[in-house]
Amino acid sequence: MFDLRKTNDWKVSKSGDIDNAETGYGIEHWRLSEPWLAQLSGKVWVDLLAFRTAYITACRRAGVTQVALDYSGKMVSVDDLADMEKFNELVYSSPDIALNLRRVFPRQSYSR
């Protein structure tokens, strides 16, 4: 039961479920606080910025205000993810996400 909110290949339902139209990958709204940025940053098929937009939309629809950034359990606010400057700082400071990005895109630099 998805509505019209679609960001690239990610669709977000009114309840906050996320579904990738191309791969069939889905995240239920009750699991949004888990470290999805860390997990999906290691997938070659994921456009992290497109996912970020859908993820923020889903969290807001589901009423989720804090999410795990990575496997350390560090919680960050959804508002910080929505701010591109803060999002970049968080991604660059996360060893889990930085390691995944280096593995997926080995020729690019992800350090500041």
Give pLDDT tens digits for 2-35. Answer: 443 445 689 999 999 999 988 889 999 999 999 9
In a domain, 85, yes or no: yes
In a domain, 11, yes or no: yes
Is residue 96 classed as helix, strand or coil in its secondary structure? helix
Residue in this structure with the two tokens 């969290």, named with its chain if needed: 59
Question: pLDDT at position 2, please?
Answer: 41
Residue 34 structural domain: 2-96
In a domain, 106, yes or no: no
In a domain, 105, yes or no: no
DSSP 59-90: HHHHT--EEE-STT--EEEHHHHHSHHHHHHH
pLDDT per position as a tens digit, 36-73: 999 999 888 888 889 999 999 999 999 999 999 999 98
pTM for this entry: 0.85
Average of per-residue pLDDT across 79-91: 94
Give the number of domains in the chain: 1
In a domain, 108, yes or no: no
Residue 88 buriedness (CB in 10 A; 0-12 / 13-18 / 19+): exposed
In a domain, 107, yes or no: no
In a domain, 65, yes or no: yes
In a domain, 7, yes or no: yes
Residue 109 buriedness (CB in 10 A; 0-12 / 13-18 / 19+): exposed
Question: pLDDT at position 45, please?
Answer: 86
